[in-house]
Chain A
Amino acid sequence: MEGLGINLSSLLAQLVNFGLLLALLYIFAYKPVIKMLDQRSAKIKESIDQTEQIKEQAELAEKETARLIAEASKEGQKIIDQATQIGEETKQKAKQDAKIEAERLIAKAKLEIERERDDAIGELRNAFADLTVIAAGKVIDRSLDKEQHRQLIDKVLEESKVLNKN
């Protein structure tokens, strides 16, 4: 033992040295560094979790947006369809109105024309009757009873008129 150099005082001194080093390193190295390492790994874990969460939220938001866009598109389509339909209806109605109006005008014009014609025919007949009476008077040189004569011509005309109409 003596040859190896084992002695109690040195042994005690080295034990004390070790204890001292253990205490000092515990205070200055192990405790703060391990705390820091744990803190950092916690932080990293937190960051990863947060990233995951944000990703999830973004996905959700994207889905929501897509849904809204689809909805809006559908709504827009519906409105356009409605507008087209209304436009079509309006157009049809305008067309119909115009047609009715035109027909009415045509009918009115026809009526007018007929009336004009009838008037013209009436006038012509009167004039013709007078002329005939005068001509006949001249031929026989004697004045016929004007009234009688007139009736006679009217009768003839009436017959011709029937004939015409048929």
Chain B
Amino acid sequence: MAKKKGCLGCSFPVAIVVGLIILAVGILSFLSGALGNALLGNIGLPEWLLAESPEVHLPTSVIFHFLGFPVTNTIITAWITIIVLVAVFYFGTRNMKLIPSRFQTAIESVISYLLTFCEDIAGEKYGRRFFAIVATIFLFVITNAWIGLIPGVGTILVQGADGHMVHLFRPVNTDINLPLALALISFVFVEYWGIKTLGAGYFKKFFNTHRFFHGFKELFSGKIKQAMGSFFNGAIDIFIGLLEALSELVRIVSFTFRLFGNMTGGEILLLMMVFLAPFMLAIPFYGLELLVGFIQALIFAGLTLVFATIAITPSHSDE
């Protein structure tokens, strides 16, 4: 590529003007934010420019009631996510061709990426069985995270059902009910796949009493020393089985709070940056949040997939 004159694709005068504007906005941002206020005091800027102190509400706000059912701002935002996802895929797959258009290629590459992900971890047969749930978790989480970054989410205020002014949209992942719902779905499906694949054998790893009862057999046949060893090892097996069962349940909690914590933390981070300096300072953190959204979606989907793969693998106590 030929080296162009100028700076960053602009001619020098344009680049200088752009630089000056950025500088001016930066200074204004510094002055109107909490940072400048703390260092310099209020130097007489109009009030609408001054950053408001952020308020963090963990519970969601009810916007209206539908047939007595409270509709919160996160539910509305989740509907938007659903509409966006379904619309994109509906138009992307409306008339599919063997030789794809660009849009179809984009859609297919997303699905194919997720399908390959599933098949790589769980194998071709089970990867396809797990695919629908795993892919939906991934797409839902990542779209929720990214839609939460769009201007307007977390800024538009409406009158809530209880009379207070509340946000109309709010990032869905910061409502703990969504991570909890996904964690429950993940848990239920992992157990379901495990039971479906291994049958009653699936519970062997939770109630591993085989060696313990083997000890009784040895006791009655007079081998007291071996019986003691078997009792001891059997007790350990039972304890491990209980831990196994507990860890299965703990996953729900870890799933929930991993996603909820990351997303809420990111949201608070952005709020704080905007509070410190309303313009520009938050931009790098938006980039960071894009990455975090992708990573959290991948972790949620990936862990579900891994747990499912572990669940369908016969336990070692059979041998």
Contacts and interface: CB of A to CB of B under 8 A. Distances in A.
Contact of B132 (A7, A22, A39): A22
Contacts of A24: 82, 85-86
B27 interface: no
Interface in B44-84: 57-60, 69-72, 74-75, 78-79, 81-82
A21 B115 contact: no
B93 A14 contact: no
Interface in A2-28: 2-7, 9-11, 13-15, 17-18, 20-22, 24-26, 28
Interface stretch (A30-38, A95-103, A148-156): A30-38
B314 to A, nearest CB: 28
B58 A5 contact: yes
Contacts of A17: 75, 78-79, 82, 181
B107 A29 contact: yes
A6 to B, nearest CB: 6
B98 A5 contact: no
B192 to A, nearest CB: 14
Contacts of B181: 11, 14-15, 17-18
Nearest to A5: B59
A21 B144 CA distance: 12
Q: Is the interface of A mostly helix, strand, loop or mixed?
A: helix
B85 A25 contact: yes
B115 A34 contact: yes
Identify which of B78, B92, B131 gathers the most chain A CB atoms within 10 Å of its CB. B78
Given A21-B140, A30-B131, A43-B98, A10 B89 contact: no
B24 to A, nearest CB: 41
Interface residues of A, number: 31
Given A10-B72, A25-B85, A25-B86, A37 B175 contact: no
Contacts of A40: 98
A14 B82 contact: no
B85 A10 contact: no
Contacts of B89: 25, 28-29
A11 B135 contact: no
A34 B111 CA distance: 8
Contacts of A15: 181, 184-185
A28 B210 CA distance: 48
Contacts of B85: 21, 24-25
B307 to A, nearest CB: 17
Contacts of A2: 59
B128 to A, nearest CB: 8
A28 B93 contact: yes
Contact of B107 (A10, A22, A33, A43): A33
Identify which of A21, A22, A43 gathers the most chain B CB atoms within 10 Å of its CB. A21
Interface string B88-125: 01101100101010000001100110010000000000
B177 interface: yes
B78 A14 contact: yes
Contacts of A30: 111, 131-132, 135
B133 interface: yes
Given A15-B185, A25-B139, A39-B98, A5 B82 contact: no
A14 B75 contact: yes
Contact of A36 (B70, B96, B182): B96
Contact of B112 (A5, A13, A37): A37
A132 to B, nearest CB: 133
Contacts of B81: 21
Interface in B221-239: none
B177 A18 contact: no
Contacts of A34: 111, 115, 128, 131
- Counting from the closest, the 8 A-B pairs by CB-CB distance are A5-B59, A29-B89, A14-B181, A10-B177, A33-B111, A32-B93, A11-B177, A22-B136
Given A13-B72, A14-B181, A30-B111, 15 more contacts: A3-B58, A9-B70, A14-B75, A15-B181, A15-B185, A17-B79, A17-B82, A18-B136, A18-B181, A18-B185, A21-B140, A22-B136, A29-B93, A33-B96, A37-B112
25 contacts: A4-B59, A5-B58, A10-B74, A11-B180, A13-B71, A13-B72, A14-B75, A14-B178, A17-B181, A25-B86, A25-B135, A25-B136, A28-B86, A28-B90, A29-B93, A30-B135, A32-B93, A33-B107, A34-B128, A36-B98, A36-B100, A37-B108, A37-B111, A37-B112, A37-B115
